[in-house]
Structure 1
Amino acid sequence: MQRLIWIALLTAFTLPSFLTAQTREEMMAEKEMKSATLDSLKTALGTLGKQVATLEGEVASLTDQLTPYPRWNKGMLGNLGLNFATFSDWLSKSQSNTSAVNIGVTSTAFANGDWEKSFWRNSANLTLGWLKFDDKDNPDDTEGFQVAADAFNLSSLYGFKLSPKFAISTLGEYRTSILEGKFNNPGYLDLGAGGTWTPANNLVVVIHPLNYNFVFADQDFSYESSLGAKIVADYTKKIVQGLNWKSNLSAFMSYQGSDLSNWTWVNTFSTAYKGIGIGLDIGLRNNKQEALAAELDNNPLQSYWILGLSYAISSN
């Protein structure tokens, strides 16, 4: 009887360990089996991914071959910014009764044509802004809107393709203002030739070592035209779903020195849902001749930004 009791106690203490050991072995076997299945599926998925990429490339190639020339891509995009403010008896301000209106507009239109051996890219950009500030307690303050931003740009680039990514090209670009009698005063016209590099569908780089920068003006300050190099870079990218970025840099480097050089860099960020969204335009410019004409001792970095409602219209 005593022996049976000892056997029962021994069984009670050792059986759970035995069962646990058995369960652990089964779990290890199940893990190995599932790991092997997972590795097999990953291999199959990788193979399928390569097949999908290959098929996508073949479909894109066939689509390209079936699309007739010339191929035109046309569209328009822009930004409208509005700001209204009114203060009445706001005593913490030195001018306690005021109203202000700020209006900013940017618009870009483009028409890009593509042929089998050549291309023709055209664009126009207009940026305008007005500001009105009314101090109701001061009858002598300035009435009406004042110009806050004013820029117009027109460009046309033609190229003959030497390869899918490189072409010999010629560029014409005109820049001026249009308000307050500033049209073509001053006005800048670049005419030049060189090469255009298109490393990707969303990036175009123009390098023209032979370019003449004509400057037109009817002012006391004598603007100078000169020979130099023209560099233009245009880039577009979808940063994330619903957020697009467009960047354009246009620079002229005069062979007569930096005083006759200039550059303009414009960046546009926009969200869009069915062509409507929020847009931000940021423009930077540096032009020593404009600084000298304004009788400035230094050459400040010119800038503007407009935040507002954006729109986009395109057609292929």
Structure 2
Amino acid sequence: MNKKFTLLSLALLFFCFALQAQTVEEMQAQKAQKVQELSTLEPQLKELGGKVDALKAEIDGLTDKLTPYPRWDVGVLGNIGFNIANFNNWFSKSTPNTSAITIGLTANPYANLQQKKYFWRNGANLTLGWQKFNDKDVSDDNSDFQVAADAFNITSLFGYKLSEKIAISTLGEYRTSVLEGKFNNPGYLDLGAGATWTPITDLVVVIHPLNYNFVFSDSGFDYESSLGCKVVADYTRSIVKGISWKSNLSAFLSYKGTDLSNWTWVNSFSTAVKGIGIGLDIGLRGNKQEAFNYATNLPIDADKNEPYKGTLADLPGKYSKIQTYWILGLSYAISTKK
């Protein structure tokens, strides 16, 4: 009886191994078949993708020819960020009982006109941010909202087309802050003329070698106006489906030297479904005159910081660092074309 049971067990075990081997062989054969099918379909898919892109380009070209002049493109893009934090008896922090609120917003309205012989592009950027921090264990702690970001920019570019990609142009751009009494203190006004290059629909490059940079401020600050070259580059594209990127660089290169030059570079990333999504705005700015006036008006504090006593040309690097900000939050987009 035991011998029969042993033989039966061995036979069953052998059958299981044979069945498993057969199953593995079948799956390997199926895999090879699927790989072969995929290698056949991939070139067809690539060919179809090329045809689809070509058809889209032809449709866009026909749409452009059928669209009457004048052509207005008007809209607004922006980002809203909001954050609240509260800690009670959180002893791993040096201040265990605190609350904090951060609010940030950006708005980028635009109105662009296209005519057969000329164009007129208008845009603005407003970036504001506030932060409130309250240490509950300090009775006289300043719990008011403090300004964390403050920038305003408005631009108007007019160009007369010499060809589809080249135009002679004139530009006016104004930059300042709007909070805490800093409107036009300082304020920067660029007026100039030169050329505009539009190599592709989504990229506009402005080069104005004849540009004057007017700087306005009250008697408490020291700024200098100068003649120089204005360079502006504006680029918009979809990185992948559903994610758009807008980049704007505005630079003034003073003929008097780099100490009077300045630049601002703003990048906006957003995902939008029916105009609403998630957005990230990143801003960078270099302005040695602003850094100099900030350093010369520093108050003396407990860390022995004190106002800078030197000249603009000798300003140490610790004062003239790149200014940065970023805002992550809800993005919105509203536009219309006529």
Answer whether TM exceeds 0.5 for this pair: yes
- Residue 266 of structure 1 corresponds to which residue in structure 2? 266
Q: CA deviation at 1:61?
A: 3.3
How has the CA–CA distance of structure 1 residues 57 and 104 changed in structure 2, closer, same or farther, with 3 Å as cutoff? closer
Partners of 2:239 and 2:55 in 1: CA distance: 26
Q: CA deviation at 1:224?
A: 0.3
Residue 247 of structure 2 corresponds to residue 226 of structure 1: no
Q: CA deviation at 1:183?
A: 0.2
| CA shift digits 1:240-298 (9 cap, x unpaired) | 11111100000000000001000000000111111111110000000000011012633
Residue 333 of structure 2 corresponds to residue 309 of structure 1: no
- Residue 16 of structure 2 corresponds to which residue in structure 1? none
Q: CA deviation at 1:139?
A: 1.1
Q: 2:236 is matched by which residue type in structure 1?
A: T
Residue 200 of structure 2 corresponds to residue 200 of structure 1: yes
Partners of 1:190 and 1:209 in 2: CA distance: 12
* Secondary structure in 1 matching 2:129: strand
| CA shift digits 1:222-245 (9 cap, x unpaired) | 200000000000001101111111
- Residue 182 of structure 2 corresponds to which residue in structure 1? 182
How has the CA–CA distance of structure 1 residues 243 and 57 changed in structure 2, closer, same or farther, with 3 Å as cutoff? closer
> In percent, how many aligned pairs have the same letter?
67
* Secondary structure in 2 matching 1:214: strand
- Residue 15 of structure 1 corresponds to which residue in structure 2? none
The correspondence of residues 1-316 of structure 1 with structure 2, limited to 5 A, is 56-295=56-295, 297-298=316-317, 299-316=320-337
How has the CA–CA distance of structure 1 residues 224 and 242 changed in structure 2, closer, same or farther, with 3 Å as cutoff? same
Between the two proteins, the alignment pairs up a number of residues equal to 280
Contact 1:185 1:219 (C-alpha < 8 Å) held by counterparts:
no
- Residue 15 of structure 2 corresponds to which residue in structure 1? none
Contact 1:123 1:155 (C-alpha < 8 Å) held by counterparts:
yes
Q: 2:201 is matched by which residue type in structure 1?
A: N
Contact 1:177 1:187 (C-alpha < 8 Å) held by counterparts:
yes
Partners of 1:51 and 1:247 in 2: CA distance: 30
Q: 2:89 is matched by which residue type in structure 1?
A: D
Partners of 1:49 and 1:281 in 2: CA distance: 33
Partners of 1:49 and 1:142 in 2: CA distance: 60
Q: CA deviation at 1:53?
A: 6.2
Contact 1:131 1:146 (C-alpha < 8 Å) held by counterparts:
yes
Q: CA deviation at 1:140?
A: 1.3
Partners of 1:201 and 1:111 in 2: CA distance: 16
Q: CA deviation at 1:185?
A: 0.2
Q: CA deviation at 1:143?
A: 2.5
- Residue 11 of structure 1 corresponds to which residue in structure 2? none
Q: CA deviation at 1:57?
A: 4.6
Q: CA deviation at 1:124?
A: 0.8
Q: CA deviation at 1:219?
A: 3.9
Q: CA deviation at 1:66?
A: 1.8
Partners of 2:54 and 2:80 in 1: CA distance: 43
| CA shift digits 1:38-77 (9 cap, x unpaired) | 79xx79x95x888766655544333222211110111111
Structure 2: runs of 5 or more not aligned: 1-35, 296-307, 309-315
Q: CA deviation at 1:91?
A: 1.5
| CA shift digits 1:196-240 (9 cap, x unpaired) | 000001000000000000000014232000000000000011011
TM-score (norm 2): 0.78
How has the CA–CA distance of structure 1 residues 219 and 100 changed in structure 2, closer, same or farther, with 3 Å as cutoff? farther
Partners of 1:272 and 1:51 in 2: CA distance: 27
Structure 1: runs of 5 or more not aligned: 1-33
* Secondary structure in 1 matching 2:290: helix
After superposition, the CA RMSD in angstroms is 2.4
* Secondary structure in 1 matching 2:274: coil
Partners of 1:52 and 1:232 in 2: CA distance: 34
Partners of 2:49 and 2:324 in 1: CA distance: 46
* Secondary structure in 2 matching 1:286: strand
Q: 1:301 is matched by which residue type in structure 2?
A: I
Partners of 1:56 and 1:85 in 2: CA distance: 48
How has the CA–CA distance of structure 1 residues 227 and 98 changed in structure 2, closer, same or farther, with 3 Å as cutoff? same
